[in-house]
Amino acid sequence: MRVRVAILGCGNRGADVYARLLAAGGAQVAWLVDPRPARLAEVAARHGLGPEACLTHWEEFFALGRVADAVVVATPDDEHVEPCVRALALGYDVLLEKPICLEEAELGRLLAAEAASAGRVTVCHVLRATPFFRAVAAGLRSGRLGRLVGISLAENVAWWHYAHSYVRGNWRASPPAAPFLLAKSSHDLDLLRAWAGSEPQRVSSAGDLVHFRRDEAPPGAADRCGHCPVTGCPYDARRIYPPRDPQAWPVTVLTAEGVPLADALAHGPYGRCVYAGGNNQPDHQTVTVTFANGVVGTLTVSAFTHNNTRTLKLMGTHGELRGHLERGELDWHDFASGTVLREVVDTTGTHGGGDAGLVSAWLAFLRREADVPTPLAESLDSHRIAFAAERARQRGTVEAL
Ligand SMILES: NC(=O)c1ccc[n+]([C@@H]2O[C@H](COP(=O)([O-])OP(=O)(O)OC[C@H]3O[C@@H](n4cnc5c(N)ncnc54)[C@H](O)[C@@H]3O)[C@@H](O)[C@H]2O)c1
C-alpha cells in the first residue's frame, strides 16, 4: 500500500522539495495544508488533488483525526513545535524541518512528546544524507586520519543568497525567525557534533551585522532597486533575479502564486534595497566548540563569499582531510606516506543530493525497511550548540553546556 503523506506548509521545502520527491518515490501526497489559497491550488494541481484535500491551517488537519500515515512539517520556523507535538499525539511519523524549535526548553517537550507516541520524528538535517558527507563520515570511521583533533568547517553562504534570505527574505529578522546560526547552520553544527563523536562542553562565538545596514548604503541609494540611481551595486535585485532560471529557486519564491517577476521586484520585499533596514541577523559569525573528548571544532558562516558551498578541514594525528562540497572533492592527506588521495563524490541534486537522500531514507523507514534516518534525540546537540553560541555572541561569554 502507498504511504499517505500530509504536507503542512506548501512553500519551497514542503511542496517544491518534499512533496515532489515523496511522490517520485512512490508515496501518495494525500493532504495539503497552507493558508495561501492560490498556492494550494497550484500545488494541488501538481498532485491531482481536489479542494477536499486542501486545508488552510494545520489545526484543521489535526481536527480530522488520523487520516494519513505521516506528516511533513515544513511551516515557517516559529510553527514547527506545535504541529509536531500534535502529529505525535495522533501517532504520526513526522518529517520535521529544521530548526527543530526556537527555544531551548522546547527540545525537552518534543522529546517527551515523541517518547509518548508511536510515531517517530525525522529531522531534516539533509546534509547527513549527502554522498559527500557520508564519505567524510566513512573515512573518519576507517581511522585514516588517526585521532581527530580539530575541525574547521566553513559555510560559504554567498553574497546574493544571504541578501535573498537574510536581508530581504523570511529570515531577515530574529525573532520571529530563528537566529542566523540556527536557521542556516544547524546542519553544520550537526556535522561537527557527529564528526567529533563526543558531547559539546564549551561554546564561544563572535560575529555581527556589519554591512546590510542604513549607514552602509551608497550615497543616493533609493529604498527600492527599481528606481535606484546607484550603478554597479552587486545587490541590485534587477541583477540578481531576472538572469536566473525562472523555474528554480530563488526566483520561484518571488513568482509563487503566479506573481509576475516584474511585479514582485516592483512591489515585494525582494525588490527592496539591502540597506533599507528591517533586518537584524549577523552577516558573519564564527563559533568555536570544545567537545568532551578534546576535539575543537570551528564553524564560520559568512555572507561574504563568492559561492554557496561548504569547505572543510579535518585535522587528525596521522592525516588531514580537505573537502569542497560543490566540487565533490575530498583530499585525504596521509602524513606517513606523504600521499594525497583525491576522492570525487557525486553532488548532484538539491543540497548536494541530501534532499533526495533524506526523502528516500525516510520512505524506507515509513515502509519499515530501515531505521529513522536522522532521529530527534541525535539532532538536539546541534540546536543546544546554536542556542549557546547565540548567547555567547551577544554577551561575549564562553558558555558551558
Ligand atoms: N532542511 C533544510 O536544509 C532547509 C532549507 C530551507 C528551509 N528550511 C526550513 O524549512 C521551513 C520552510 O521553509 P520554506 O523555504 O519552505 O519557507 P516558505 O515560506 O516557502 O514555506 C512555508 C509555508 O508554510 C505556510 N504556512 C504558514 N503558516 C501555516 C500554517 N499555520 N499551516 C500550514 N502552512 C502554513 C506558508 O504559507 C508557506 O507556504 C522553514 O522552517 C525553513 O527554515 C530547511
What are the pLDDT digits (tens) for 24-51? 999 999 999 999 999 999 999 999 999 9
79 C-alpha to ligand 1 centroid (Å): 9
* CA 282, chain centre distance (Å): 17
340 C-alpha to ligand 1 centroid (Å): 42
**1 has pLDDT over 80:** no
The predicted pLDDT at position 257 comes to: 78
Identify which of 8, 16, 20, 34 to mutate to test ligand 1's pocket (most ligand atoms within 8 A of the CB).
Answer: 34
Radius of gyration for the chain, computed over Cα atoms and rounded to the nearest angstrom: 22
* Grid cell locating 57: 491551517
The predicted pLDDT at position 256 comes to: 85
10 C-alpha to ligand 1 centroid (Å): 7
To the nearest whole number, what is the mean pLDDT of the chain?
A: 96
Domain ranges (residues) in the chain: 4-123, 128-213+279-400, 214-271
37 to 41, 110, 295, 368: CA distances (angstroms) = 6, 30, 50, 35
Q: Whose CA is nearest to atom 21 of ligand 1?
A: 11
**10 has pLDDT over 80:** yes
**Can you tell me the mean pLDDT for 365-370?**
96
Identify which of 7, 8, 10, 13 to mutate to test ligand 1's pocket (most ligand atoms within 8 A of the CB).
Answer: 13
CATH pick for 128-213+279-400 out of 3.30.360.10, 3.40.50.300, 1.25.10.10, 3.40.50.170 = 3.30.360.10
Q: Cell numbers 500500500 label which residue?
A: 1
123 C-alpha to ligand 1 centroid (Å): 14
Q: What is the DSSP string of 326-342?
A: TTTEEEEEETTT--EEE
**127 has pLDDT over 90:** yes
**377 has pLDDT over 90:** no
Residue-wise pLDDT for 226-279, tens only, equals 999 999 999 999 999 999 999 999 999 999 878 999 999 999 999 999 999 999
Do the domains 128-213+279-400 and 4-123 match in fold?
no
Q: What is the DSSP string of 102-143?
A: SSTHHHHHHHHHHHTSS--EEE--GGGGSHHHHHHHHHHHHT
Query: Which residues have a Cβ under 8 Å from the Cβ of 230 and sit 6 or more positions away?
Result: 218, 220, 221, 222, 236
**Can you tell me the mean pLDDT for 100-129?**
95
CATH pick for 4-123 out of 3.40.50.720, 3.40.640.10, 3.40.50.970, 3.30.2270.10 = 3.40.50.720
Identify which of 75, 249, 358 to mutate to test ligand 1's pocket (most ligand atoms within 8 A of the CB).
Answer: 75
**137 has pLDDT over 90:** yes
**293 has pLDDT over 80:** yes
